[in-house]
């Protein structure tokens, strides 16, 4: 069993480089696959979730290269609308592929986090949002199956200001017909970061960072280059460590 031994009692001082935000990365990497041409992302963190998401998107047909924090993504041809179960069950953020596939091709079959469970599920808010956008949504055998000839803009109240729901609906609504309003939207930096990147791709999103986000759907999106924001949790950890040791 591995262990870490910390010999404390010393003030921590110095300069560190903060990794890119993991939560932003997962949303933005998925968003890049809404376009057919290449997007280039900088400051992508090296972590298990990013590697897993890369494998999921590659299974759907994307071509992705990752080298020392730089990721090139090309999703000209998404050959599958069924996300791989074994990979998706490893992380909840894999459910962003639902918004991607609905927004890109109108069909998505995604494993439900937690599989077949009775009662409220962690993605029920997402399912309500997809239904409000006009998708036919059903769940069976641990999967969500959704389809829509064309997603249509709507007004949707985001329960509990859910970050995941807000981001997933931004992905789906960016290419929907008409205007979508997300009321009670999450205001976290990851939501803003994703909206900024989507706008660089050609989306028309206003209000990110407030609790009212408006998305005017466009016919298609194009690739973009973007640097992901630093990870606020990592930065906070170093700040607290320095403060706690008198550094």
Q: What residues act catalytically?
A: 116
Q: CA–CA separation, 11 vs 74, rounded Å?
A: 46
* Residue 109, token pair as written in the block: 């079959």
Coil/strand/helix, residue 88:
helix
Burial letters for 37-46: b for 16+ Cβ neighbours within 10 Å, e otherwise? Answer: ebbbbebbbe
User: Is 48 exposed, middle or buried, given 0-12, 13-18 or 19+ CB atoms closer than 10 A?
Assistant: exposed
Residue 12 CB-density burial (10 A; 0-12 exposed, 13-18 middle, 19+ buried): middle
Please count the CA atoms within 13 angstroms of the CA of 176 that sit on its side-chain side: 31
Phi and psi angles of residue 34, each rounded to the nearest 5 degrees, phi first: -70, -20
Q: Is 20 helix (H, G, I), strand (E, B) or coil?
A: strand
Eight-state DSSP code of residue 191:
H
Range 63-98 burial, b when 16+ CB lie within 10 A, else e: ebebeeeebbbbbeebeebbbbeebbbbbebbbbbb
């Amino acid at each position: 069993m591995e262990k870490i031994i910390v010999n404390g009692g010393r003030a921590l001082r110095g300069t560190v480089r903060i990794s890119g935000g993991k939560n932003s990365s997962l949303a933005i990497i998925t968003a890049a696959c809404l376009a057919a041409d290449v997007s280039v992302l900088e400051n992508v963190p090296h972590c298990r979730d990013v590697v897993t998401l890369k494998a999921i998107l590659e299974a759907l047909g994307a071509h992705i290269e990752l080298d020392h924090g730089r990721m090139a993504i090309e999703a000209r041809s998404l050959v599958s609308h069924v996300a791989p179960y074994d990979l998706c069950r490893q992380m909840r953020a894999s459910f962003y592929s639902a918004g991607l596939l609905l927004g890109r091709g109108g069909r998505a079959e995604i494993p439900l986090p937690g599989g077949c469970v009775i009662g409220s599920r962690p993605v029920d808010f997402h399912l309500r949002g997809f239904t409000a956008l006009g998708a036919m949504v059903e769940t069976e055998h641990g999967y969500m199956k959704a389809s829509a000839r064309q997603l249509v803009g709507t007004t949707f109240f985001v329960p509990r200001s859910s970050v995941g729901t807000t981001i997933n609906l931004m992905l789906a609504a960016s290419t929907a017909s008409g205007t979508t309003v997300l009321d009670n939207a999450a205001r976290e930096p990851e939501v803003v970061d994703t909206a900024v990147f989507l706008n660089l791709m050609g989306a028309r999103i206003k209000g990110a960072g407030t609790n009212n986000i408006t998305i005017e759907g466009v016919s298609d999106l194009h690739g973009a280059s973007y640097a992901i924001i630093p990870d606020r949790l990592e930065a906070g950890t170093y700040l607290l460590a320095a403060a706690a040791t008198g550094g």
